[in-house]
Amino acid sequence: MPEGHTIHRYARLHRQALGGRQVRVDSPQGRFAGGAARIDGSVLADVTGYGKHLLYHFDAGTLHVHLGLFGRFRSFPTASAEPPGAATRLRLRTDDWAAHLSGPAACELLDADAEDALLARLGPDPLRPDADPQRAWEALQRRRAPIGQALLDQAVIAGIGNVFRAEALFRAGVRPDRSARDLAREEFDALWADLAALLTVAERSGRIVTVDPADVGADSVEEVPDDARVNVYRRADEPCRRCGAPVASWRLGGRTVFACPVCQPA
DNA sequence: TACATATGATCAT
DNA sequence: TGATCCTATGTAA
């Protein structure tokens, strides 16, 4: 679930449902009880997403949430909300609407310095209007790591995860183990623009679709079936949708990467 | 019931 | 590079 599109989608939905209102905050699980008590009942001025980080700007303090690999929100009209499970680290509620968070890697209050430090270590986020791709280009010039590894580094580009790495490199025809600094500027520009486009579609729809709908017999992104959404991610040994060659996978930067050996030549 | 795996990141070695 | 943390899910035993 959680790459940058998920975070920005939560930010938008939570801003819409809870923004500008007094929010009840608690921690049914108990592990965030102290922090929750400090912001409980204060007004949620805004919710912002930056890369894979969510910031809830309460009058009484800033709440930082990072979903990690497992974190997720469930939301419901308050009247029909299910009882919070034993793993519900954080619950946000108004009279109308409730969100339950489980499994986050981070759920904590940040002071202004900590918030600045957090944002300072992130690269530009393609989903943010203020993103400066030049910073990402310069960061890539400084690395000798492969591009597939650099793309997962949040200090290079914020918000990219394992699915978008595999899919954007496939669409760019770039092999993940090529050196980051060997990318041509035109290749980088196209990659950035494609990441922004893919993330935007995913933020709106709530799912990652990186195939051309026509390639899988669909008329629109919405009509692409769930089992045909991506080109290479988690499709090891299956035929490439473009050329039919078996999709390859290997470990890169501690994660599994997927690529077509033919469409992404060395 | 247990195990493997996962769209993440950090810390130790 | 490996261990570790967080939770849910699907498959094997």
Bridge pairing between strands A61-66 and A97-102: unpaired
**C5 C1': nearest CA residue:** A105
pTM over 0.85: yes
- Read off the pLDDT of residues A2-21 as tens digits, 9 standing for 90 and up: 899 999 999 999 999 999 99
Could you confirm whether A2 is annotated as catalytic?
Answer: yes
Residue A220 CB contacts under 8 Å (≥ 6 apart), including other chains: A213
* Residue A1 confidence (pLDDT) above 70: no
A10 CA, B11 C1': Å apart: 29
* Residue A186 confidence (pLDDT) above 90: yes
Could you confirm whether A255 is annotated as catalytic?
Answer: yes
Could you confirm whether A186 is annotated as catalytic?
Answer: no
* Residue A153 confidence (pLDDT) above 90: yes
Q: How confident is the model at residue A253 (pLDDT cuts 50, 70, 90)?
A: confident
Q: How far apart are CA A134 and CA A156, in angstroms?
A: 10
The closest alpha carbon to A49, from A25, A29, A73, A31, belongs to: A73
Subset of residues 94-113 in chain A with CB less than 7 angstroms from any atom in strand C: 102-103, 105
| Residue entry with tokens 């938008």 | A12
Name residue A244's amino acid.
G
